Amino acid sequence: MAEIDLGNVRARYELLSVLDYSLKRRVVETIRRRAAPPVTIDALGGIDLEVPNGSRLGLVGANGAGKSTLLAIMAGVLPPTSGSVKVHGRVLALLGGAGEGLDQEATGRDNIVSLGVQLGETPAAMRERIDDVTEFSGLGARIDHPVYSYSTGMQTRLRFSILTSLRPDILLLDEGLGAADAEFAHRADERLREFMSSAGIVVLASHGDALLRSQCDTAVWLDQGRVREQGELDTVLASYHASYVRDDTANRLVTS
Amino acid sequence: MTARSPSWAGYAPLDADAGVLFRAAVSDIREGLRRRRSWSYLAVENVKNRYRRTVFGPWWLTLQMVILIVGISIVFGHLLNADLRTFLPYVGLGYIVFMLLSGLTSTAAGVFIAGSSTLKSTRQPLSNLVLRDVGVEFINFAHNMVIYLVFLVIGLVPLSPKILIALPIVAVIAANGFFLGLWLGIAVARFRDLQPFITSILGVAIFFSPVFYNLDNLSPGIRNLLVWNPFTHLIMAFRTPLIGAPLLPSYYIGTAIVTVINVAVGLAVFARARSRLPYWVA
């Protein structure tokens, strides 16, 4: 049984500039009693969210609304500043840039094993999966080339193929498959559906309505780190789109 | 099926109380140690990848070390008027263990900066990253220890039961490397200017460590200064039984003190800052 339960989750980033990362400056400022607390950004300002088994949840919202932060917290790679995070089931997440978490110097084949091993699998279990992952990724002979020689789309394909081969209960996707080509997107779509039918949870953050409609049935609209609306995908998308059209008209009325 | 084993808590919220943060840190370490097949595999892969396009692989490092040890022994042995047969293994083993300590320190400093992409995208115990780096340093060390075997075979060092004392010391050095990564790795992730600082300290550390010279030949003033260098105790504790020199309890007391402080600082910093780390490397 997969389940995600978030209670009053907050995430506050401190805006650390290059100077804030300097110990020398910290010491000098402490001596001069000039230490000013860094500027903070509330990426998430108190999120309560229950994602039950079988959910296909879309996350929508403007850039900086907190979608990626929320996914990172669900994925367990970022702790909340405060609040409770309960996740049942194995979570795997395709977060960050295309090559995030891949060893660029190593071959695709080696990355299949080492990424799986980092996610808690044994090397032997991952070696058995190499052929399946290679086939699904469609990388063919390129699997024996170092990952730095891959295009962005190829790196995404490799990561997606590795993660889904591990049969997660919960799959988190940030902007879907980004640069993957149409042919791969089609196969990935099939794998996602197959994965959905065996229960589990998919959470997908995206700006693409078509992608959201193909993968999700419910949605959460994040606005400045808070849940603005939650419900059926179409309803939420409609309100989300209406909001900026309305804002836009309002702005035009003001300026004219 | 579920990867979230109940023993592993993952991250605690930043505002959790000290007890919760400490338990989360301990469970991270425990889960890391439990995944020994994971980090040992990753350590071996790392070494293999680093030497992929070379013929000798990590033996190349060992060869470089042989050249250095022989060269230094000849020059310093002549200057210090020492007998090469005793001086060569003294410098050799001193240099091998110094390079291990120095390597452990510099990878410990960079562990979370180098692993930032991994820790932001892949949920795993942070201790796993440190253990992998410690593993890499020990793979290199194991290659270099072949030089010691050569010393044994050609009779430059004695084969006696006393050499077994070095084994637990190697384990103690490994533990020190691990706890150093837990606190120094986090400190460098927060204060980036520490890294060049550590690099420059390591650059001169060899002159303040008993690698080329014997502690007994130093004036008491300098000797008292070297006591404050943690490397001094670890080098003496490791090398002395292997070269058959008289064992002094002070080496082992010093090693114990260094280890206790390092473990305590490691646990304290790791418990306090572990949850903040992903925000600092973001």
pLDDT digits (tens, 9 = 90+) for B175-188: 999 999 999 999 99
Residue in A16, A82, A114 nearest the CB of B45: A114
Highest mean pLDDT among A16-30, A208-222, B11-25: B11-25
Structure confidence by residue, pLDDT tens digits, A100-139:
889 888 999 999 999 999 998 999 999 999 999 999 999 9
**How does the average pLDDT of chain B come out, rounded?**
92
- Cβ within 8 Å, pair B49-A118: no
- Cβ within 8 Å, pair B41-A84: no
Q: Which of A146, A166, A186 is the last residue of a domain?
A: A166
Structure confidence by residue, pLDDT tens digits, B162-208:
999 999 999 999 999 999 999 999 999 999 999 999 999 999 999 99
Q: Residue A189 has what pLDDT?
A: 81
ipTM of the complex: 0.87
The confidence band for B81, taking pLDDT boundaries of 50, 70 and 90, is confident
A78 and A100 both lie in a single domain: no
Is residue B57 scored above 80 in pLDDT? no
A185 and A248 both lie in a single domain: yes
* Smallest Cα distance from A108 to chain B, Å: 13
A107 and A212 both lie in a single domain: no
Residue B280 contacts A where some CB pair is shorter than 8 Å: yes
CATH number of the domain enclosing A107: 1.10.8
The domain of A29 spans: 3-90+168-255
A162 and A172 both lie in a single domain: no
**Domain membership flag for residue B266:** yes
Q: What would the 3-class secondary structure string for chain A be? A: CCEEEEEEEEEEEECCCCHHHCHHHHHHHHHCCCCCCCCEEEEEEEEEEEECCCCEEEEECCCCCCHHHHHHHHHCCCCCCEEEEEEECCEEEECCCCCCCCCCCCEHHHHHHHHHHHCCCCHHHHHHHHHHHHHHHCCHHHHHCEHHHCCHHHHHHHHHHHHHHCCCCEEEEECCCCCCCHHHHHHHHHHHHHHHHCCCEEEEECCCHHHHHHHCCEEEEEECCEEEEEEEHHHHHHHHHHHHHHHHHHHHHHHC
Q: Residue B3 has what pLDDT?
A: 44
Closest CA to B277 of B196, B184, B195, B194: B184
Beta carbon pairs, A and B, within 8 Å: 115
Closest CA to A75 of A197, A178, A203: A203
CATH number of the domain enclosing A234: 3.40.50.300
Residue in A79, A101, A123 nearest the CB of B41: A123
Residue B194 contacts A where some CB pair is shorter than 8 Å: yes
Q: Residue A250 has what pLDDT?
A: 60
Is residue B127 scored above 90 in pLDDT? yes
Total number of domains in chain B: 1
The confidence band for B282, taking pLDDT boundaries of 50, 70 and 90, is confident
Is residue A179 scored above 90 in pLDDT? no
Is residue A176 scored above 70 in pLDDT? no
Q: Which of A121, A142, A166 is the last residue of a domain?
A: A166
Q: Residue A252 has what pLDDT?
A: 61
A182 and A244 both lie in a single domain: yes
A247 and A184 both lie in a single domain: yes
Structure confidence by residue, pLDDT tens digits, A18-60:
888 888 888 888 888 777 777 888 999 999 999 999 899 999 9
Is residue B278 scored above 50 in pLDDT? yes
**Contacting residues of A for B282, CB less than 8 Å apart:** 13
Contact between A112 and A134 (Cβ < 8 Å): yes
**Contacting residues of B for A66, CB less than 8 Å apart:** none
Q: Which of A166, A193, A208 is the last residue of a domain?
A: A166
A39 and A116 both lie in a single domain: no
A10 and A83 both lie in a single domain: yes
Please give the Cα distance from B186 to A135 (Å, whole number): 40
Q: Residue B2 has what pLDDT?
A: 39
The domain of B208 spans: 22-43+55-280
Beta bridge partners of A218: A57, A232
A72 and A129 both lie in a single domain: no
Residue A7 CA to its chain's centroid (Å):
19
Residue B10 contacts A where some CB pair is shorter than 8 Å: yes
Q: Residue B4 has what pLDDT?
A: 45
A85 and A102 both lie in a single domain: no
The confidence band for B156, taking pLDDT boundaries of 50, 70 and 90, is very high
**Contacting residues of A for B136, CB less than 8 Å apart:** none
Residue B56 contacts A where some CB pair is shorter than 8 Å: no
The confidence band for B5, taking pLDDT boundaries of 50, 70 and 90, is very low
* Smallest Cα distance from B15 to chain A, Å: 6
pTM: 0.91
**Domain membership flag for residue B2:** no
Residue in A78, A118, A167 nearest the CB of B124: A118
A81 and A195 both lie in a single domain: yes
A184 and A85 both lie in a single domain: yes
